[in-house]
Amino acid sequence: MFSRKTVILGSIIACIILTVSLLSFSRSRYGSFGPGRVAIIFIAPLQKTIATSSKFIKNIWNHYFSLVSTAKENDRLKKALGYADAEKNQWREMEFANYRLRKLLQFVKTTSNQVIAAEVTGRDPSSWFKAVIIDKGKSDGLKKGMPVIIPEGIAGHIAEVTSDYAKVLLIFDQNSAIDAIVQRTRARGIVKGETTGRCVLKYVLQKHDIRVGDVVVSSGLDGVFPKGLPIGYVSNVVKRTSGLFQEIKVTPYVDFDKLEEVLVILNPPEHDFISGQ
């Protein structure tokens, strides 16, 4: 009845009219179209689920790569921080060493003795004996019996010596003994080491007036330590009614826990004990 051409043309016109009509209709009823809400009710949750999932996956994906780079950056920063910390620590150590060495140098300038500086490299493994190893030996002119000091006072004396190292017996070792005098009263005695980490001043007669805080110095009579080197201060005095001597505790000036550098006196007072080595 109609040609094929006429049918196509009519269909196109009908579609245009339908489209225009629908657009006009929907424009006038925006927001209250029932079937649209039903679609939203059913489709939107799915949309949301998919959107959330895709966002989640996208986030994971992005964060994964981000985390990888963050982890790398974190590693790099940690490494840099580690280096900075190590450097800072090194500077601080150098600062402390500088301070100690300046102090030693100042002391060397003020002392008339010929001295050599040495570093403590090891300590006595025992709790009951007190000795340290220093990094100077025979090749540096050290001999058995030489006094070892620091600016604060007497540290000990050389007990053993090898070509490059020496063992220093500290004054608070029980085998150590120094002929000493109390600076204020000139009372003489022997400073001996004790296992407690302190020393005792022995053989001081009861008649002498010794007080807590009195300074104890070397007498120089033992032929090992030069006269007048500080040893420690009196920390306790016990005068018993019986007996000839007082019981006097002496706390050394030297903090042996912090002993790192020492000075060895190379020209101590001449004595048979030293010249005999």
Partner 1 sequence: MTFFYHIFVGSCLFIFQSVILPYFTFSDSFYDLLVPFIIYLGSYHSVREGIPVAIFLGFIVDSFSGSYFGVYITTYTWLAISMRWISALIDMQNFGFLTLIVVIGVVIENILLFLAIMIANPEFQFSVFILGVIASQIFWAICTGPFFLIFFNKIFGFLKTEPA
Q: Taking Cα atoms as reference points, which of 168, 192, 199, 164 lies closest to residue 178?
A: 192
Query: Which part of the chain contacts partner 1 (CB under 8 A), choosing from 5-13, 30-38, 129-137, 179-187?
Result: 129-137
**Options 100, 123, 184, 208; binder of partner 1; rule CB under 8 A:** 123
Count of residues interacting with partner 1 (CB under 8 A): 24
Q: Which of 3, 110, 112, 126 binds partner 1 (CB under 8 A)?
A: 126
Task: Determine, following the binding rule CB under 8 A, whether residue 117 of this chain makes contact with partner 1.
Answer: no
Indicate whether 160 belongs to the interface with partner 1 (CB under 8 A): yes
- Taking CB under 8 A as the rule, does residue 171 contact partner 1? no
Q: Nearest distance from residue 253's CB to partner 1, in Å?
A: 19
Contacting partner 1 (CB under 8 A), which of 104, 167, 217, 262?
Answer: 167
Contact pick of 104, 115, 118, 130 for partner 1 (by CB under 8 A): 130
CB of 270 to partner 1, least distance (A): 25
By CB under 8 A, residue 169 contacts partner 1: yes
Minimum distance from residue 99 beta carbon to partner 1 (Å): 19
In angstroms, what is the minimal distance from the CB of 196 to partner 1?
A: 5
Stretch that binds partner 1, among 35-43, 84-92, 108-116, 117-125 (CB under 8 A): 117-125
**DSSP class per residue in the chain:** ---HHHHHHHHHHHHHHHHHHHHHHHHHTTT--HHHHHHHHHHHHHHHHHHHHHHHHHHHHHHHHHHHHHHHHHHHHHHHHHHHHHHHHHHHHHHHHHHHHHHHHHHHHH--S-EEEEEEEEE-S-SS--EEEES--GGGT--TT-EEEETTEEEEEEEEE-SS-EEEEETTSTT-EEEEEETTT--EEEEEE-TTS-EEEES-BTTS---TT-EEEE-STTSSSPTT-EEEEEEEEE--SSSSB-EEEEEESS-GGG--EEEEESSPPP-HHHHT-
Question: Does 124 interact with partner 1 (rule: CB under 8 A)?
Answer: yes
- Residues near partner 1 (CB under 8 A) are 121-131, 133, 159-160, 167, 169-170, 173-175, 195-197, 257
